[in-house]
């Protein structure tokens, strides 16, 4: 059992707030990723939860108990570091047996726990080796086993995969999810890789400037982001400035692009004349015989599909995908673009403009 | 800039493009290192065979033999006790310097190095004044009567402790702090994390610190001899180096042959034991494992929290203040006394000699040390690299008195004797300061990615240009740090200078002579003048270099 509750957590360094006023509930056995650009305070947050840092304000509860003042060695939180931090002078077995050893649980517990968890991550055959004899991915598996062998019911992963090769990274993340789900452990996984966050988590906490920008399941945030920032940071999207030009009785909205071209969206709460921004993902843009006129500026092969980049008559940059088996236009061709009405998300136009809103730092 | 130096640099740049020129330059640096530094340092060992008669007669003379052996035994046991104390007190101090952040840390950092800038002869006066109540000194000390042995331990801690803290800090800084954090998230208390993780990773630093402190204590002459003189026991209590000093100062006790035999014997014993030590300590510390697997979580917790860690920090700082800093600075108490008449002509003359020796030695160290350091740093895996790396340490661990004696014998064999005394003294000072410069440089160059120079060369820079414009600016601060260390070390050296010549009058020699004739006040004033000059120079050097680097950036 490990339910985590954060209550108005702030962490201040001098005058700088690394994390400001964060409240969050995490359920037992939930896999939550904390996603955000670098410097947004995501690592600070898990360091506060694991007791490595004491928050300047706010409280941390685990299973209803206030643990804010409990030092990290008594917190029972597994922590996996970005730089792995396996003890270089100990064998893999000694590394994994470290927690039972320092808790003085006896030789038997050290033996059985280290065997069990090395087995679980598939590294038992190499128990006698030293960390520097392993590849990065293997080292990180052992580090995870070491954290789990502490018997902890929650695991903090601080960018655990970012130091690894692309291939290993992808394999290990599924392995990681399978493992912790099997053990029923609550996981907080910090990452700046949105693809990684999408593919492993039950829920994503999107952070920015030390605060939570948005919380939701990967699908919710991808399909219905609540801010221009989230729409842009998670997945790829086209952002176009528009004005609401007309609304039908049932709320269906018509929008006018900067060049005056009109497009249809589904129901919104905006009024006629409101300045808005729409987000439409490349996979929801199609070519047709009629629609927004655009000139092709680049065609890029992405591996499984083509990405076509265009400049529309409205002076917006619009990208769309073409299946790798299909014909692609050449640079300079004129095309007509239409958007999947249901997939268009409409936002209030941010005061600082789109650029300011999607800036990462 | 005027034309001449530019075209000279250009020519060097051009020449450096040829691998033949580079190889012969490195060969030259190696040759100088071997012929001028290594061989003369240990030459005395050959005397054991060529002049066995002299040594044999000393060995057969019970009186001298016992004195020599007890002197050597004193040297080694004092060095051992001092080094162990340094480790015990130095560890928590290194911890404070690296892992803690507090107001005034910069001050503490500077204070820590201060005793290194004092000539050891000065420290000798200061320490005896502080702890004891020597006759002929008007100033009140603590008046504690201790045996010469204990007093030597107090004295040697002063100039070895900073080395220990520095070596330990350097390693601690390289140990990933995440290791401790990881251990603590796994349930280890701070104390347990330190014992099981950090301490075992410390071994390399411990070996370096151990060797540095042990060698420094073993070879110290000036301070030891002055302190013993002030206590009035210089002719009854000996360390190896102080015995040689005493032999030189009082030629009436033994015959010339006996003296030569005794000096050869002492030098050889100390050189051989010191070299053995270098190997043994390295091996022993590298192979040492803390046998204790068991952990006591409750005890660890008690040691990690509450009053105990605080008490440890307070005691550490108190030790630094009471045992290291106060005794070192006690000499300034003489400023409260009426100013005595000093023969400024002689004092300034000796200062000029000291600065000439130190300046030339450091300049030579840098010029022939840079190619050596570059080679060692970049060829760590090669046989030659490893051999050179070991050889560089040799002059560092040989007692400087023995080194000086050996050097004088070596060059004396070529007919270079008293008339070239100054040159010989400079050669001697090059020998024991060279490792300080090279060690610092190797450390710095190893940190620099060779890719920087490679990039510069792909952009068309000649090797020397790449060195001058890319590598050197990066390691400049290490060159300066090593240079300052070597300079102050040369300035404070007594043993090697006396062993080489009786006529070259450096400041520590002059101060020693004043103490021998009982002129403590004059000796103290000269010391204060010397310290003041040192600080001004170091300050100016820091200012100049920091401004220069500010402009370059």
Residue B514 has pLDDT above 80, yes or no: yes
CA dihedral angle for residue A74, residue A75, residue A76, residue A79, rounded to 10 degrees = -120
Q: What's the whole-number mean pLDDT along residues B104-129?
A: 81
Q: Tell me, what CATH number does B410's domain have?
A: 1.10.3720.10
Q: Which of A321-335, B255-269, B340-354, B458-472 is modeled with the greatest confidence?
A: A321-335
Strands across the sheet containing A211-216: A78-80, A154-158, A186-191, A31-35, A203-208, A211-216
Interface contact A346, partner B, CB < 8 A: no
pLDDT at B553 over 60: no
Token pair belonging to A351: 């005061």
Q: Is the confidence at residue B552, as pLDDT, over 50?
A: no
CA distances from A299 to A333, B43, B346, B433 (A): 11, 77, 86, 66
- Mark yes or no for CB contact A79/B182 under 8 Å: yes
Structure tokens, B227:
């302190």
Q: Would you say how long chain A is, in residues?
A: 361
pLDDT at B289: 66
Domain identity same for B384 and B409: yes
Specify the CATH architecture of the domain A4-229. Answer: 3-Layer(aba) Sandwich (3.40)
**Please, which pLDDT band fits residue B356 given cuts at 50, 70 and 90?**
very high
B297 touching A, CB under 8 A?
yes
The verdict on residue B383 lying in a domain is: yes
Is B310 a member of any domain?
yes
Cross-chain residue pair B297–A83, CB shorter than 8 Å: no
Contacts of B196 in chain A (CB under 8 A): 98, 101-102
The verdict on A146 touching B (C-beta cutoff 8 Å) is: yes
Residues B442 and B525 in one domain: yes
Contact at CB, B187 and A87, closer than 8 angstroms = no
Q: Taking CA atoms, what residue in B is nearest to A99?
A: B186
Residue of B101, B180, B187, B299 for testing the chain A interface, max A β-carbons within 10 Å: B187
How many structural domains comprise chain B?
2
Residue B57 covered by a domain: no
Tens digit of each residue's pLDDT (9 = 90 or more) over B445-474: 887 888 888 888 888 788 788 888 888 888
Distance from CA of A211 to the nearest CA of B (A): 25
Query: Which of A72, A103, A147 lies closest to B184 in CB terms?
Result: A72
Residue A165, both tokens: 């090769």
Gap between the Cα atoms of B465 and B461, Å rounded: 6
Q: Nearest CA of chain A to the CA of B546: how many Å?
A: 28
Look at residue B77 and tell me if it is in a domain.
Answer: no
Q: What is the pLDDT of residues A63-108, one digit of tens each?
A: 999 999 988 888 889 999 988 889 988 999 999 999 988 888 888 8
Most B CBs within 10 A among A44, A70, A85, hence the mutation to make, goes to: A85
Residues of chain B contacting residue A71, judged by C-beta atoms under 8 Å apart: 184, 305
B241 Cβ contact list (under 8 Å, min separation 6): B75, B219, B220, B221, B224, B225, B399, B400, B401, B402, B495
How far away is chain A from the Cα of B99, in angstroms, using its nearest Cα? 15
Do B228 and B374 belong to one domain? no
Residues B316 and B189 in one domain: yes
Please tell me whether residues B401 and B528 are part of one structural domain: yes
Q: How far apart (Å, rounded) are the C-alpha atoms in residues B173 and B99?
A: 8
Q: Which of A281-290, B245-254, B333-342 has the highest mean pLDDT?
A: A281-290
Listed range (B2-11, B103-112, B154-163, B426-435) with the worst mean pLDDT: B2-11
CB contact under 8 A, B185 and A52: yes
Banded pLDDT at A118 (limits 50, 70, 90)? very high
Q: What is the pLDDT of residue A217?
A: 94
Percent of chain A with pLDDT over 90: 53
Q: Is residue B32 part of a domain?
A: yes
Helix (H, G, I), strand (E, B) or coil at B7: helix
Q: Starting at the earlier edge strand, list the strands of the sheet with A345-348.
A: A262-267, A252-257, A238-247, A275-280, A345-348
Q: Would you place residue A143 in the very low, low, confident or very high pLDDT band (cuts 50, 70, 90)?
A: very high
Output the CA–CA distances (angstroms, integers) from residue B502 to B496, B498, B510, in the order listed: 11, 6, 11
Q: What tens digit of pLDDT does each residue of A196-251 get?
A: 999 999 999 999 989 999 999 999 999 999 999 999 988 889 999 999 998 888 88
Query: Considering only residues 301 to 320 of chain B, which have any Cβ-Cβ distance to chain A shorter than 8 Å?
Result: 301, 305
Rounded Cα distance between A117 and A114, Å, is 5
Best of B171, B175, B177, B182 to disrupt the A interface by mutation (most A CBs within 10 Å)? B182
User: Measured in Å, how far apart are chain A's first and last C-alpha atoms?
Assistant: 37
Instruction: Give the mean pLDDT of chain A.
Output: 90
Best CA proximity match to A265, nearest among A253, A251, A282, A281? A253
Helices B105-117 + B148-174 axis angle, to 10: 130
Rounded to a whole number, what is the distance in Å from the CA of A268 to chain B's nearest CA? 49
DSSP bridge pairs for A286: A338
- The whole-angstrom separation of Cα B423 and Cα B415 is 13
B95 in the same domain as B20: no
ipTM, two decimals, is 0.83
Q: What is the pLDDT of residues A243-281, one digit of tens each?
A: 999 888 888 888 999 888 888 888 888 888 899 999 999
Q: Is B299 on the interface with A (CB under 8 A)?
A: no
In whole angstroms, how far apart are CA A89 and each of A84, A92, A139, B362, B417?
A: 14, 10, 14, 39, 54
- Relative to beta strand A78-80, strand A57-62 is unpaired
Report the SS3 class of residue A8. Answer: strand
Domain ranges within chain A, ordered by starting residue: 4-229, 237-350
Q: Is residue B9 part of a domain?
A: no
Predicted confidence band at B374 (pLDDT cuts at 50, 70, 90)?
confident
Of B335, B353, B373, the domain-final residue: B335
Residues from chain B that touch A78, judged by Cβ atoms under 8 A, are 185-186
A281–B contact, CB cutoff 8 A:
no
Average pLDDT, stretch A313-342? Answer: 90
Strand order of the β-sheet with A305-312 is: A285-288, A334-339, A292-301, A305-312, A317-323
**CB-based contact (8 Å) between A79 and chain B?**
yes
What domain range includes position B413?
16-43+341-553
Same domain, B352 and B310: no
CA–CA separation, B320 vs B329, rounded Å? Answer: 12
Tell me the two tokens of residue A129: 């080796």
Distance from the Cα of B456 to chain A's closest Cα (Å) equals 29
**How far apart (Å, rounded) are the C-alpha atoms in residues B385 and B373?**
10
| Residue B201 contacts A, CB cutoff 8 Å | yes
Q: What number is the average pLDDT over the span B199-203?
A: 81
Name the residue of chain A whose CA is nearest to B297's CA. Answer: A103
What is the sign of the dihedral through the CA atoms of A341, A347, A349 and A354? negative
Note whether B192 contacts A: Cβ–Cβ < 8 A. Answer: yes
Contacts of B295 in chain A (CB under 8 A): 101-104
CATH number, span A237-350: 2.40.50.140
Rg, chain A, Cα only: 24
* One domain, residues B232 and B346: no
């Amino acid at each position: 059992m490990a339910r985590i509750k954060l209550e108005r957590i702030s962490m201040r360094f001098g005058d700088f707030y690394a994390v400001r006023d964060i409240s969050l509930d995490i359920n037992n056995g939930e896999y939550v990723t904390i996603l955000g650009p670098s410097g947004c305070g995501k690592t600070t947050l898990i360091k506060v939860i694991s007791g490595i840092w004491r928050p300047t304000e706010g409280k941390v509860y685990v299973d209803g108990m206030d643990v804010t003042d409990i030092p990290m060695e008594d917190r029972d939180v597994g922590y996996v570091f970005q730089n792995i931090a396996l003890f270089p002078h100990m064998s893999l077995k000694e590394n994994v047996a470290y927690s039972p050893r320092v808790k003085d649980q006896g030789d038997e517990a050290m033996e059985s726990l280290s065997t069990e968890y090395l087995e679980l991550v598939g590294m038992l055959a190499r128990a006698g080796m030293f960390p520097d004899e392993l590849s990065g991915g293997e080292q990180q598996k052992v580090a995870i086993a070491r954290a789990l062998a502490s018997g902890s019911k929650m695991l903090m992963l601080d960018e655990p995969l970012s130091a690894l090769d692309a291939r290993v990274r992808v394999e290990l993340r599924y392995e990681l999810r399978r493992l912790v789900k099997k053990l029923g452990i609550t996981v907080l996984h910090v990452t700046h890789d949105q693809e990684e966050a999408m593919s492993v988590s039950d829920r994503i906490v999107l952070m920015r400037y030390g605060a939570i920008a948005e919380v939701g399941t990967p699908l919710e945030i991808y399909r219905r982001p609540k801010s221009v920032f989230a729409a842009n940071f998670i997945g790829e999207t086209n952002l176009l400035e528009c004005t609401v030009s007309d609304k039908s009785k049932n709320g269906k909205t018509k929008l006018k692009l900067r060049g005056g071209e009109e497009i249809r969206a589904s129901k919104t709460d905006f009024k006629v004349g409101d300045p808005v921004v729409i987000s439409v993902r490349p996979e929801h843009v199609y070519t047709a015989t009629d629609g927004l006129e655009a000139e092709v500026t680049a065609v890029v092969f992405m591996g499984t599909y083509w990405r076509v980049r265009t400049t529309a008559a409205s002076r917006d940059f619009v990208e769309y995908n073409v299946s790798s088996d299909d014909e692609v236009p050449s640079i300079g061709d004129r095309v007509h673009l239409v958007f999947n009405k249901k997939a268009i998300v409409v936002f209030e136009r941010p005061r600082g403009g789109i650029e300011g809103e999607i800036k990462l730092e | 800039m005027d034309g001449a130096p530019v075209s000279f640099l250009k020519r060097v740049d051009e020449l450096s493009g040829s691998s033949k020129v580079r190889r012969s330059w490195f060969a030259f640096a190696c040759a100088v290192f071997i012929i001028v530094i290594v061989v003369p340092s240990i030459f005395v060992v050959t005397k054991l065979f060529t002049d066995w008669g002299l040594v044999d007669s000393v060995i057969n003379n019970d009186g001298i033999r016992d004195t020599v052996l007890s002197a050597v035994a004193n040297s080694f046991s004092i060095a051992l006790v001092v080094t162990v104390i340094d480790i015990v007190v130095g560890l928590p101090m290194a911890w404070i310097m690296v892992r803690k952040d507090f107001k005034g840390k910069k001050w503490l950092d500077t204070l820590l190095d201060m005793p290194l800038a004092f000539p050891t002869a000065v420290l000798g006066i200061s320490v005896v004044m502080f702890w004891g109540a020597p006759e002929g000194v008007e100033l009140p000390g603590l008046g504690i009567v201790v045996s010469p042995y204990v007093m030597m331990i107090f004295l040697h801690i002063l100039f070895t402790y900073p080395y220990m803290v520095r070596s330990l800090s350097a390693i601690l800084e390289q140990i990933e702090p995440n290791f401790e954090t990881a251990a603590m998230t796994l349930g280890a208390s701070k104390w347990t994390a330190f014992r099981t993780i950090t301490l075992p990773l410390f071994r390399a630093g411990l070996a370096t610190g151990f060797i540095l402190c042990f060698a420094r204590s073993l070879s110290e002459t000036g301070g030891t001899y002055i302190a013993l003189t002030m206590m009035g026991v210089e002719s009854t209590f000996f360390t190896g180096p102080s015995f040689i000093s005493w032999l030189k100062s009082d030629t009436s006790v033994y015959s010339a042959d006996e003296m030569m035999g005794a000096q050869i014997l002492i030098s050889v014993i100390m050189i051989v034991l010191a070299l053995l030590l270098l190997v043994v300590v390295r091996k022993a510390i590298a192979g040492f494992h803390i046998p204790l697997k068991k952990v006591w979580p409750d005890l660890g917790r008690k040691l990690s929290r509450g009053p105990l860690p605080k008490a440890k920090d307070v005691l550490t700082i108190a030790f630094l203040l009471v045992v290291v800093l106060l005794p070192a600075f006690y000499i300034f108490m003489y400023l409260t006394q009426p100013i005595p008449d000093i023969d400024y002509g002689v004092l300034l003359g000796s200062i000029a000699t000291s600065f000439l020796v130190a300046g030339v030695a450091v300049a030579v160290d840098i010029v022939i040390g840079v190619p050596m350091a570059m080679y060692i740093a970049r060829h760590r895996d090669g046989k030659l690299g490893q051999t050179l790396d070991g050889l560089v340490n040799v002059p560092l661990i040989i007692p400087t008195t023995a080194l000086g004696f050996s050097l004088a014998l070596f060059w004396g064999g070529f007919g270079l004797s008293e008339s070239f005394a100054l040159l010989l003294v400079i050669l001697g000072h090059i020998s024991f300061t060279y490792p300080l410069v090279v060690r610092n440089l190797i450390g710095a160059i190893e940190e620099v990615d060779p890719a920087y120079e490679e990039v510069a060369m792909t952009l068309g820079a000649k090797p020397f240009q790449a060195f001058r414009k890319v590598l050197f600016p990066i390691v400049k601060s290490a060159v300066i740090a090593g240079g300052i260390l070597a300079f102050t070390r040369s300035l404070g050296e007594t043993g090697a200078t006396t062993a080489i010549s009786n006529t070259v009058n450096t400041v520590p020699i002059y101060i020693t002579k004043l103490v021998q004739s009982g002129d403590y006040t004059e000796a103290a004033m000269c010391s204060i003048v010397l310290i003041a000059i040192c600080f001004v120079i170091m300050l100016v050097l820091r200012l100049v270099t920091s401004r220069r680097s500010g402009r370059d950036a």
